[in-house]
Amino acid sequence: MTHPDPIRLILIDDDADDRGKLRQALTQAPGVSVQIEEFDSGEAGLARLRSAPADCVVLSSSLPDIDGFEVLERLAAAGLDLPIIMLTGPGDQPRAMQALAGGASDYLPKAKLDDAELLASKLRLLQRLHQASARALTAEAELARAIAGRDSVLAVVSHDLRGPLNNIELAMGLLSEQVPEQQRALAIASVHRAITRADRLIRDLLDVARLSGGALELDKDPISPAKIVETAIADVRPALEQHRLTIQVDVAADLGPILADRNRVVQILDNLLRNAIKYGARGGEIGVELRARPNAVEFSVRDQGPGLDHDAQTLVFDRFWRAKDRASSSSGLGLAIAKALVVGHDGEIGVESVPGQGARFYFTIPLAAPS
């Protein structure tokens, strides 16, 4: 059975007898574990509260340097939101109401300092209320982030779809005129590229929606990792030729079959290859390797591009992330989808890079069980 952490209580009162009574009562309070720190002045108590966390404050309204009401004001000004019980003298109802109006959570007449049951109930209630308030603030912050994320997504999608649509509009305007056949062919090719780009973005967005909702199913079968590499490279061959890139493939011998959704692993590798094509040095080389790992096969794609610094390496798999210093027509979804698909296969994905020396992206897929 686990025991809750003790309540870190700060007691600010200059009367040693009252502090002793409260300390004694708290040691007898049922169901409450309390760690007490005592201070005999308002300034000393404030210094402690500013320097380290606390869970609750018991504060005397009368202190030798500054009174409890000024302590309340300073705590509020410092943004320290803590449950505070104000100690009041006998028949001091007006000061109790003033304390509540000034930010105290509750009050306790000093005549009842030895009532352990009353103290325990007040502390438990204040702790629950404070925890509920903290959860509400966290939920509010998460909601704000979600709204900001939604607006960011809409901005990215509208921008990325506007590009191909503009290209289509320009090309169609050209096609509506009497133009030489060569220009006509170029316009038609531009339309095809724009449609392909828009279609890829839409498919990526649909994949993100399915992954977020847990609705993307994987149809896993034992398959050859080498065959996946062959298919993925064949799909990007036109882009390789366009960028005058060569590709070197190194497949380790005797690799067993992996248990995977063939189309989805091809998609993962396609995303990594297109990323390498996009950022690789024109006329350079891309390397693809397959290596045996414990109970898995590792796929890797190496480029000769500008590489990634440490911060970029921690963000590169985030949705809609795009390096600020790189001109890119991508949606920033490809690597995020690749990561989600790898995780869905119980694999791992990562990147190794030194700025100026290219990057190596890799992922693992578990081996199929022996038949």
Residue 223 is inside which H or E element, if any? strand 221-223
Task: Residue 246: name the closest of 255, 233, 259, 257 by CA.
Answer: 233
Place of tokens 């979600």: 146
pLDDT value at residue 325: 52
Whole-angstrom Cα distance, residue 91 to residue 97? Answer: 12
H-state helical runs in 176-224:
181-212
CATH class name, domain 221-366: alpha beta
The model's pTM is 0.52
CA–CA distance from 289 to each of 231, 247, 250 (Å)? Answer: 14, 11, 5
Q: Which residues contact residue 80 at a Cβ distance below 8 angstroms, ignoring those fewer than 6 apart?
A: 49, 50
23 CA to centre of own chain = 43
pLDDT of the residue at 365: 96
Question: Under DSSP, is residue 229 helix (H, G, I), strand (E, B) or coil?
Answer: helix
Residue 129 neighbours by CB under 8 Å, 6+ apart: 83, 105
pLDDT at 224: 94
Tell me the longest C-alpha to C-alpha distance in the chain: 102
| 274 within 8 A of 235, measured Cβ to Cβ | no
The pLDDT value given to residue 1: 40
CA 367 to CA 228: how far, in whole Å? 14
Q: Mean pLDDT in each 10-residue stretch from start to end of the chain (371 residues)?
A: 68 91 82 85 92 86 89 86 83 79 82 80 72 68 62 58 65 68 72 70 70 73 94 87 90 92 89 88 90 94 89 80 55 78 91 90 93 69
Model pLDDT, residue 118: 81
CATH of 7-114, one of 3.40.50.300, 2.60.40.420, 3.40.50.2300, 3.30.70.20: 3.40.50.2300
Q: Classify domain 148-212 by CATH number.
A: 1.10.287
For the chain, domain boundaries: 7-114, 148-212, 221-366
Nearest-5° Cα angle at 341, 338 to 344? 150
Torsion on CA atoms 276, 277, 280, 284, rounded to nearest 10: 120
Indicate the residue type of 187: A
Radius of gyration of the chain (CA): 33
φ and ψ of 303, to 5 deg: -120, 170
pLDDT of residue 2: 46
**What's the confidence (pLDDT) of residue 195?**
74
User: Cβ distance 315 to 351 under 8 Å?
Assistant: no
Kindly give, in sequence order, each residue whose CB lies less than 8 Å from that of residue 275, ignoring residues fewer than 6 positions away: 301, 303, 334, 335, 361
CB-side neighbour CA atoms (13 Å) of 360 = 11
What is the rounded distance in angstroms from the CA atom of residue 264 to the CA atom of residue 213?
A: 17
What span, in angstroms and rounded, lies between the C-alpha atoms of 307 and 303? 8
Q: CA dist 300 to 290, 321, 348, Å? A: 7, 21, 12
**What distance in Å separates the CA atoms of residue 358 and residue 307, rounded to the nearest whole number?**
4
Predicted pLDDT of residue 295: 93
**105-111 own/partner pairs: CB under 8 Å, 24+ apart:** 105/129, 105/130, 108/58, 110/18
- Count the residues in the chain: 371
**Nearest one of 292, 275, 289 to 336, comparing CA atoms:** 275
Q: At what angle do helices 181-212 and 334-344 cross, to 10 degrees?
A: 40
